[in-house]
Amino acid sequence: MEEPAGPEARLRRLLDAAEDASPVQAVEAVTRELGHALRATAVSLLIADLSGRALVRLAHVALDGPEDGSDARHDDEERATVLPFDGGPPEQALRTQQVQVLAPEDGRTWTVLAPITERGEALGLLELLLPEQPSSDVVAEVRRTAHVLGYVVIASRRHTDLYEWGQRSTPFSLSAEIQRRLLPSAYTCEGGSFTLAAWLEPAETIGGDTFDYSVGRDALHLSVTDAVGHGVVSSLTATLCVGSLRNTRRHGASLLEQAALTNESLLEHGCGPVGEGFATALLGRLDLRTGELDLVNAGHTAPYLARDGRVELLELPADLPLGLFEGSTYRSTTVLLQPGDRVIIVTDGMLERAAASLDLESHVRETRMLHPREATRALSDLVIDASGGVLADDAALLVLDWHGDHGAPRQTVAGADVTPSGGI
């Protein structure tokens, strides 16, 4: 097989191909360029489904072209085929962040599956079918291209609904659409001194849960909120809550000021009946230089701290939820994190009704060795199973690992941190 050209020329061709194409065609253009360079017989983007439990193969197929006999979704000339996780190589490639090279079953075609990742956010897989066994240099080239492809997807999706459409294996209600827009664009962030991942399992009627974070030069801001009620009204209350928290944070307000001003905003602009447009919240600010985590608890479920093999609730003073009474005051508690600590923030959907039978502290301990991205999925899967697949309330959680040594460079391979997270 012909070995790839030099890295500078390869990168230039890939970026030129992405920019020359429309946002809808950018990923296809990049994968086509790679396919030509490696003489691949086929190249595919497998994007992560929003459920977190499947990959979706996106393809451009003319509607008058041949049918493949699958139950793929079509939108004009776009096709999306859902590939549920079954423990096989695609799932392993995504979860372990390791390239999978599969020997041919037909005696002719080799398959390479490379994770598409940006700062630990698993966006999907790059799949190549090759006519002969790839060399280590070719595998490395595929891995690098998958990393570049991640940035192409991130940039292109700002201009088109194609990728969002492909990721939605089930239709969204209006309240779900509003809730989706409130969440950060990436659910995972590896930041050197910390790793953060969050997840939301929405109830059928949407319960108004959200999570948010923002990384500063020396601080990490985070929040988990739970608006009262269900449906559109709950989503609108959540919108006011998250919007106010972001606005005050971007004005440089302290945690206490963010809580107080958001409380007033919900009272002034609340969408629900009087006394029903409120939200519980847990707000945090982590000093990345010292490990000091300041927390404000506005009527929210207490978070967990995993340290040295133990898991315990952080007993924080609980003040009133946001949006109940004018002039409510809030208190801040400082927790000094140690390298190796894990903090888990949940909403009450992780604990209520059927989920109450779970020993969440035990499961937090059992999942401690998992990357936060995988720990959030494992814990949410437990809640789904305990609830029989139907949640009565949203279940959201945020997992934060503190590594310390702020300012030290990350050790990454194609967008994923290769440093073990360590145990407790």
Within a domain: residue 52?
yes
Compute how many other C-beta atoms are within 10 angstroms of the C-beta atom of residue 171: 7
Q: How distant, in Å, are the alpha carbons of 29, 55, 107, 114, 386 from that of 88? A: 28, 12, 20, 14, 25
Q: Which domain-ending residue is among 167, 193, 209?
A: 167
Within a domain: residue 1?
no
Res 194: pLDDT: 96
How many angstroms separate the CA atoms of 171 and 326, rounded?
39
Within a domain: residue 320?
yes
Statement to judge: residues 149 and 201 lie in one domain: no
Statement to judge: residues 92 and 237 lie in one domain: no
How many angstroms separate the CA atoms of 237 and 263, rounded?
11
CATH number at residue 104: 3.30.450.40
Within a domain: residue 424?
no
Within a domain: residue 323?
yes
| Structure token pair of residue 177 | 């659409």
Statement to judge: residues 11 and 121 lie in one domain: yes
DSSP 181-246: HHS-S-SEEE-SSEEEEEEEE--TT---EEEEEEE-SSEEEEEEEEESSSHHHHHHHHHHHHHHHH
Res 349: pLDDT: 86
User: What's the pLDDT tens digit per position in 89-99?
Assistant: 999 999 999 99
Statement to judge: residues 200 and 319 lie in one domain: yes
Number of domains making up the chain = 2
| Structure token pair of residue 28 | 């296809």
Beta strand pairing status for 73-75 and 54-60? unpaired
Statement to judge: residues 189 and 129 lie in one domain: no
**373: exposed, middle or buried (Cβ count in 10 Å: 0-12, 13-18, 19+):** buried
Q: Which domain-ending residue is among 133, 167, 201?
A: 167
Within a domain: residue 311?
yes
Beta bridge partners of 221: 214, 285
Res 271: pLDDT: 64
Statement to judge: residues 141 and 221 lie in one domain: no
Within a domain: residue 422?
no
Beta carbons of 281 and 226 less than 8 angstroms apart: yes
Residue with tokens 């209600």: 173
Residue ranges in the chain whose pLDDT is less than 70? 1-7, 60-71, 74-76, 271-275, 353-356, 418-424
Q: Which domain-ending residue is among 135, 167, 199?
A: 167
Res 246: pLDDT: 98
Residue 45 Ramachandran class (φ > 0 left, ψ -120 to 50 alpha, else beta): beta
Statement to judge: residues 239 and 380 lie in one domain: yes
User: What's the pLDDT tens digit per position in 350-398?
Assistant: 887 666 677 888 999 999 999 999 999 999 999 888 877 778 788 899 9
Statement to judge: residues 63 and 143 lie in one domain: yes
Q: How distant, in Å, are the alpha carbons of 233, 260, 278 from that of 228? A: 9, 18, 6
Residue with tokens 């000093």: 287
pTM of the predicted model as reported, rounded to 2 decimal places: 0.90
Res 178: pLDDT: 92
Res 350: pLDDT: 87
Statement to judge: residues 77 and 208 lie in one domain: no
DSSP at 267: H
Statement to judge: residues 208 and 144 lie in one domain: no
Beta bridge partners of 199: 397
CATH number at residue 237: 3.60.40.10
Within a domain: residue 295?
yes
Statement to judge: residues 272 and 340 lie in one domain: yes
Statement to judge: residues 144 and 257 lie in one domain: no
Domain interval for residue 312: 174-417
